[in-house]
Amino acid sequence: MEVIGHHREKELISKYLNRNFPSYSFLFEGKEGIGKKLLALYTAKGFLCEKNTNFGCGECKSCRLTDNLISNIYNGTNLTYNPDIKLVSSQEGKDIKISQIREVIDFIKLKSSKGKVVIIENAEKMNMEASNALLKTLEEPPKNVMFILTTTNQNKLLPTIVSRCFKIKFKQLLKDEIYRFLTERGFSEKEAKEISAISEGSLSLFSLIKDNPKLYQLAKDFAVLMLDNNFRIEGIINLADILDKLDNREIFIIFQIVQVVLHKKTLKGDFDIESYETFLKEYEKFQQAIKSGVKKKLAVEGLYFNVKGG
């Protein structure tokens, strides 16, 4: 697993690492699906490397254990991983709680040869208690500890936390970088071109598509019907019948992709802006309807007709 793009960000991080501070607090800010967590792991690898190499020598025991952790996360392996790295994240839809920060505080007290790294993903999910507990630790960080907080928006964090961190702002990925990433992962040139064109600088869409190629196709089918100037009654009835058999999770993935596609088409002028705004409004109602158990066929047809008819 390699970090794609982000040359400037890597350079900045290695400058900090070269200064050999006793402890570090980083804040990585940038869009979802852009590689913040992976680069955080490589930064941890460098910090814990026995040879003190920027993003790790890749050969020492510590580096190998960090590589195992990266493989566990991204390839689903189950290897012995680096015990000096702790990842904190929120459970789906929930806050990061004070109990999780207390675990962190215990963790950094444990003995280790090189130090400890704590990565807090989506740090804006910390509730007030958790934020305050973390703040206390950041104010007097113990030696040989690195904190890396990731967030999509630093304004959602306590300003006192933000001011204690080195801030690394992540730029969006370039279309070419995404294209290359996709072709290296077995996507055909045509698919890679199509997906990178609508990826909006991140790999979120790729993550949705890679495990669900069938859902991607269905999303494209729905978008085609939306973009057609004519009513396609048979088309939508037929598609709604297929979508009716899927579960909620699959439906939500499809319409997340539909939204990205329509947004891109709107920016390009291929979909008019009023229709897109109507779509967003109706999409919200649609999500509520699906969650409350409305028949999917009806919800899908309703979404189509309300946008096309309105």
Contact residues for Zn ion, defined by CB under 5 A: 49, 56-57, 60, 63
Whole-number Cα distances in Å, 133 to 84, 99, 128, 138, 239: 21, 10, 9, 9, 51
| Pick 5 or 56: Cβ nearer Zn ion | 56
Taking the complex as a whole, how short is the minimal distance between the CB of residue 104 and Zn ion, in angstroms? Answer: 24
Taking the complex as a whole, how short is the minimal distance between the CB of residue 1 and Zn ion, in angstroms? Answer: 17
- Nearest alpha-carbon partner for 96 in 162, 29, 151: 151
| Pick 44 or 303: Cβ nearer Zn ion | 44
| Pick 61 or 156: Cβ nearer Zn ion | 61
Judge whether 108 and 116 are in contact, CB under 8 Å: yes
Taking the complex as a whole, how short is the minimal distance between the CB of residue 105 and Zn ion, in angstroms? Answer: 27
| Pick 60 or 133: Cβ nearer Zn ion | 60
Taking the complex as a whole, how short is the minimal distance between the CB of residue 214 and Zn ion, in angstroms? Answer: 41
Query: Residues of 155-188 as b/e, b for ≥16 C-beta within 10 angstroms?
Result: eebbeebbebbeebebeebeeebbbebbeeeebe
| Pick 63 or 260: Cβ nearer Zn ion | 63
Whole-number Cα distances in Å, 95 to 90, 103, 124, 126, 152: 6, 15, 9, 6, 15
Taking the complex as a whole, how short is the minimal distance between the CB of residue 60 and Zn ion, in angstroms? Answer: 3
